[in-house]
């Protein structure tokens, strides 16, 4: 079989499987909460897949494969799934479609740019990346579930509009040129804690039937 098969890509594939599941539930439109939880799970997987990958001595081809497969999966998890959730919550007006397309396009541009710059960086140094340029697409795994938690408070008549505005702002942040420090393990554990609290909050507010 073509491809590289080792434990370094397992979390990436689990995150993708979660995102695809979330997309199907968003298409169904009856259990959107499952899609939101799937987004949280994808974010958790993405947070640690790089650290797991660095525990193995890999060839240059395996490293390049890892970069490409990670970005391709990120596109589905964080570039498409949030839009599927948006459509499911009511983003179905003409201007909503432009926002949905822009969001995904911005994610594609950011991921492609990251791949190019990361490959260039790895030619010059073996050091671990310390900063990101633009808002990482993974950030939507915390932003959108947090927003969804307020859906009942905002009201179904207005939530789609609020969701659309947030998607637009996040999409702009994906491709805006600013530097953000790469989170260290302590910060990542804080993010995990926030994600866990969001998960419990969502389960409390939107009990699965």
Among 52-66, 78-92, 139-153, the least confident range: 52-66
pTM of the model: 0.89
Sequence-separated (6 or more) residues with CB below 8 Å from residue 113 = 133, 134
| pLDDT at residue 75 in the model | 95
What CATH number should be reported for the domain holding residue 101? Answer: 1.20.120
2 lies in a domain? no
Where does residue 124 rank: exposed (0-12), middle (13-18), buried (19+ CB within 10 A)?
exposed
Q: Which of 75, 77, 102, 72 is nearest to 26 (CA)?
A: 77
Query: Quick check: is 116 in a domain?
Result: yes
Residue 170 and residue 83 in contact, taking contact as beta carbons nearer than 8 Å: no
Residue 129 near residue 59 (C-beta atoms within 8 A): no
Residue-number span of the structural domain to which 153 is assigned: 7-205
Is 1 within the bounds of a domain? no
Of 38-47, 126-135, 173-182, the poorest mean pLDDT is in 126-135
Residue 209 clears pLDDT 70, i.e. is over it = no
User: Using alpha carbons only, how large is the chain's radius of gyration in Å?
Assistant: 17
Q: Which two tokens stand for residue 96?
A: 């909503």
How many structural domains compose the chain?
1
Q: How confident is the model at residue 53 (pLDDT cuts 50, 70, 90)?
A: low
**Res 56: pLDDT:** 66
- Residue 63 belongs to some domain of the structure: yes
pLDDT, residue 15, reads: 93
| Domain assignment of residue 151, yes or no | yes
**Is 162 exposed, middle or buried (CB count within 10 Å of its CB: 0-12, 13-18, 19+)?**
middle
Stretch among 34-38, 58-62, 121-125 having the lowest mean pLDDT: 121-125
The overall average pLDDT reported for the chain is 86
Between these two residues, 12 and 208, which has the higher pLDDT value?
Answer: 12
Chain mean position to CA 65: 19
Average pLDDT rounded to a whole number, residues 3-25:
87
**In whole angstroms, what is the distance from residue 160 CA to residue 151 CA?**
9
């Amino acid at each position: 079989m073509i491809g590289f098969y080792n434990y370094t890509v397992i979390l990436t594939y689990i995150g993708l499987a979660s995102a695809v599941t979330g997309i199907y539930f968003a298409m169904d439109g009856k259990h959107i909460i499952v899609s939101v939880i799937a987004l949280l799970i994808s974010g958790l997987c993405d947070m640690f897949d790089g650290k797991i990958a660095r525990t193995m001595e890999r060839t240059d081809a395996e490293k390049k494969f890892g970069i490409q497969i990670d970005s391709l999966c990120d596109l589905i998890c964080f570039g498409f799934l949030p839009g599927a959730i948006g459509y499911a919550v009511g983003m179905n007006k003409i201007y909503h479609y432009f926002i949905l397309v822009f969001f995904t396009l911005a994610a594609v541009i950011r991921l492609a740019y990251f791949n190019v710059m990361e490959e260039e960086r790895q030619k010059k140094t073996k050091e671990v990346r310390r900063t990101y340029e633009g808002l990482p697409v993974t950030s939507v795994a915390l932003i959108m579930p947090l927003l969804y938690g307020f859906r009942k408070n905002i009201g179904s008549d207005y939530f789609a509009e609020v969701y659309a505005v947030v998607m637009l702002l996040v999409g702009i942040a994906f491709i805006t040129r600013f530097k953000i420090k790469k989170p260290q393990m302590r910060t990542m554990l804080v993010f995990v804690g926030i994600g866990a609290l969001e998960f419990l909050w969502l389960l409390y507010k939107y009990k699965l039937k």
